[in-house]
Amino acid sequence: MQEELATLEKIVNVVIEYLITYSFQILAAIIILIIGIKVAGWTAKVVERFGEQRQFDVTISKFLAGLTRTLILIFVFIIVVGKFGISIAPFIAALGAVAFGSSFALQGPLSNYGAGIVIILGRTFVVGDTIMVKSVNGVVEEIHLAATILTNEDGERITIPNKHIVGEILHNSFANKIVETSVGISYSDDPKKAVRVVEEVLKASVNVIQEPPPLVGVAEFADSAINIGMRYWVPTKKYFQISYRMNLAIHSALEEAGISIPFPQRDVHLIAQPDQKNSEKGLGISG
């Protein structure tokens, strides 16, 4: 018991001696750390506000603000560590060795960060755009250094690593998405009238984007119908909702205009085979 008390007393004495010796350094380090955090946060807000005033993209503004905050905090950390008489040179050397050793294992994440910087600075697309890459499409909600977040009309959250975006064929239709469809009318109906009816329906809808204007015309002469093709733009987040509603409106308008939508038809001709004719005659003779 006495040995334990003696050990505890030594520890307390060492702590007290350390606090007395480095009390000013510790106090200064704490003050510098608090001030540094405050300055980093304030500077990041200033940078972000500057980007908004200069009408920078919101993603670039946030990226520059975050980068500024990180650099200031690193600088503050170096000063705080120096207050305790600790040299950061060994830490930098060790960090470099670790980074070199782990570079092969981190090729994927690092390539994502590199691609993220290219996307943010190059402004290939911005928040609110509709993009399609590798058959995946959606509205851009967030752009991070590591990945880009998309959402679709179903409320799904799609995360795409940035390395799978840079270098690929990218479709960017901004805030809208195109609807491409067709409707068949009978060959006995007037295609010009059908085109006018469809155009009127599309122009009357507040949900259909009018610039660029919808395109309507004869798309194909099929076996059983003349196919009237149409291409029009709608907001991406209401793609299926609006396209289904327009299909119903077009069907109703064509029906009111007396234009029929035929179903597939086939003309079947029955041709009697020679053997069948002879057998029938033979049956007639024997009868």
The predicted-structure confidence for 151-168, as pLDDT tens digits, reads as follows: 999 889 999 999 999 989
Residue among 68, 62, 197 nearest 127 (CA): 62
Which CATH class, in words, describes the domain spanning 178-256? Answer: alpha beta
Is 204's pLDDT higher than 80? Answer: yes
**Which whole-number Å values give the CA distances from 106 to 23, 42, 110, 111, 113, in the listed order?**
41, 33, 6, 8, 11
Is 227's pLDDT higher than 60? Answer: yes
Residue among 33, 15, 42, 43 nearest 74 (CA): 33
Q: Where are the domains of the chain?
A: 2-89, 125-174, 178-256
Higher-pLDDT residue of 83 and 205 is 205
Query: Rounded distance, CA 176 to CA 68, Å?
Result: 34
Is 287's pLDDT higher than 60? Answer: no
Q: What does the pLDDT read at residue 22?
A: 66
Query: Rounded distance, CA 219 to CA 207, Å?
Result: 24
Highest mean pLDDT among 108-117, 135-144, 275-284: 135-144
The predicted-structure confidence for 30-84, as pLDDT tens digits, reads as follows: 888 899 899 999 999 998 888 888 877 676 777 788 888 988 888 888 888 776 6
| Least reliable range by pLDDT among 34-43, 169-178, 208-217, 265-274 | 265-274
**Which whole-number Å values give the CA distances from 203 to 5, 173, 228, 250, in the listed order?**
90, 21, 16, 12
Which CATH class, in words, describes the domain spanning 125-174? Answer: mainly beta
Q: What does the pLDDT read at residue 282?
A: 56
Which architecture, in CATH terms, is 2-89?
A: Orthogonal Bundle (1.10)
Contact between residue 13 and residue 5 where contact means Cβ atoms under 8 Å apart = no
User: Across the chain, where does the E strand assignment appear?
Assistant: 130-133, 136-143, 147-151, 157-161, 170-174, 176-185, 215-221, 226-235
- What pTM does this model have? 0.63
Is 251's pLDDT higher than 90? Answer: yes
CA 280 to the chain's CA centroid: 72
